[in-house]
């Protein structure tokens, strides 16, 4: 585990704790598109090189598509050539929640929105070219970019 990350434990929901933004499955289904629901609420993954923000260089703030909480800023976005938008750090450490994911026969660290518990993507420590060495590999469909006005 890289220094500076929050400790990976069980997701808050599994610990019986609730999120600041908490909705029923029916509400999420009604509010999100089919694609958004599949990724955010069912931990799906969009196809690589297809996402809206894969190669975006626009300056601005990336927020959670499900609840609107700030997650990342464009200053930490880098071109990882992996096919998904990649950041080396969240704008605030507490914006995201990390936990170990052993699904699909792989040991990975899942990244969730700390405000609503929605699935965002995974984080890997395979980016030595960045200040943190981390690659937050996000689904475009989990994010919403608000371009800065400057």
83 is written with which tokens?
Answer: 């096919």
**Residue 39 CB contacts under 8 Å (≥ 6 apart), including other chains:** 45, 46, 119, 139, 141, 142
d(CA 1, CA 24): 33
- Binding window for Zn ion (CB under 5 A); candidates: 7-15, 62-70, 81-89, 125-133: 62-70
- Binding window for Zn ion (CB under 5 A); candidates: 4-12, 30-38, 80-88, 112-120: 112-120
Residue 63 binds Zn ion (CB under 5 A): no
- Binding window for Zn ion (CB under 5 A); candidates: 28-36, 41-49, 69-77, 123-131: 69-77
Binding residue (CB under 5 A) for Zn ion from 67, 89, 141, 145: 67
Binding residue (CB under 5 A) for Zn ion from 32, 116, 137, 138: 116
Known catalytic membership, residue 116: no
d(CA 8, CA 78): 24
Residue 112 binds Zn ion (CB under 5 A): no
Q: Is 118 exposed, middle or buried (0-12, 13-18, 19+ CB in 10 A)?
A: buried
Residue 64 binds Zn ion (CB under 5 A): yes
Q: Is 147 exposed, middle or buried (0-12, 13-18, 19+ CB in 10 A)?
A: exposed
Binding residue (CB under 5 A) for Zn ion from 32, 112, 113, 137: 113
**Residues at the contact surface with Zn ion, assessed by CB under 5 A:** 64, 66-67, 69, 113, 115-116, 118
């Amino acid at each position: 585990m890289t220094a500076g990350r929050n400790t990976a434990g069980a997701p808050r929901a599994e610990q019986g704790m609730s999120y600041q933004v908490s909705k029923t499955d029916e509400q999420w289904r009604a509010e999100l598109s089919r694609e958004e629901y599949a990724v955010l609420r069912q931990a799906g993954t969009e196809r690589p090189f297809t996402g809206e923000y894969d190669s975006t260089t626009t300056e601005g703030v990336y927020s959670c598509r499900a609840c609107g909480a700030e997650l990342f800023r464009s200053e930490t976005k880098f071109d990882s050539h992996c096919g998904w938008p990649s950041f080396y750090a969240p704008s605030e450490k507490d914006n995201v929640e990390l936990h170990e994911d052993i699904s699909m026969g792989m040991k990975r660290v899942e990244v969730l929105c700390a405000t609503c518990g929605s699935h965002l993507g995974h984080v890997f420590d395979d980016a030595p070219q960045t200040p943190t060495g981390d690659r937050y590999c996000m689904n475009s469909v989990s994010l919403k970019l608000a371009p800065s006005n400057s």
